[in-house]
A and B are shown apart, each in its own frame.
Chain A
């Protein structure tokens, strides 16, 4: 029995020190009915990769949504101050560096986070019009951003994207991502 105690202690100590530690593989993401998870489609940049989804069915059919946490943001008190801030941080530039806002943005709340959402036209020369939506939300000194793009109605895409971000599974993930998990 004494040997069992030593083995147990050693196993726990080794685990605590990181020797022999392993990470559980994440379970497949359970997404809501209309958004199917994709691989993150963009090359590495200064921020860690986020998550990507494609809308299947409904008014946002075919739209893609990219979301990620950006930890470390100087405006800890003022948050997302204006539309220029959305232009700068919302990751629309990952889709294309050439985007034009179609109207002033508006204030948006997702969970306990507050920020702004703005719509854009994208300059993608494939003969079709592309719309995008950029979302920037702040939590203390950190940002959560989302960008959606698609060929359908921008208003429907924005509505569907924000509704998806409000789901329990996404709000839980956002909190974890902003906590650096």
Chain B
């Protein structure tokens, strides 16, 4: 037997051993309308998608016997907890969850490492994790709350709800996110918005030192104010200037004005202390 064959056999045995050490578990819960589902998973991913009926289905893959899944249903509320046993590490305590919930369920996901994913839901959701990548897409009529320290955050096709994102240093990307309130705060993370600031909402994108870039179509209706104390500010879209301003509008450091139809406009505040701000016009196809 050649040396290469032996190496392949050893690698295969190690992989098989790893797979064997994993445990798969499934849990099912019948719930009523607007159920509450919370998942606390220190190490590992949580992915939430809609289920066809009034059932919460939890599929968990446990990395080792150093972690167990505690599940509890109390009326219309389901709580899932990854319970780390003595001696558990980030690797041995790793659990990956794939969860199906009724679309109107309220969801609370918590994982230090993540990633955290939610899609095609319209119940309120909270996603928190120090280093977790957060990805929310195709959500409507829901309050979306996101908190990370350095995990990147991406929201795509989120409509008609309140959106609040707090990320210390993670990059935040909003693609087609509209609603009565969209608020993003970061200390050093960059913020990128692509959309039309619709729904006559209040949009506030703030970063202390990260750059803020907003790309909008020409038909956008919004009262826009942008200011950077120390960074450069650029505006590619002509604005009707305001006659009264509540802060000094210094050339290159701030701009304020109205784009589109003032009567149906949203309020947009772009603010950074030392980052750059760029309001760009979306290239029409």
Do they bind each other?
no
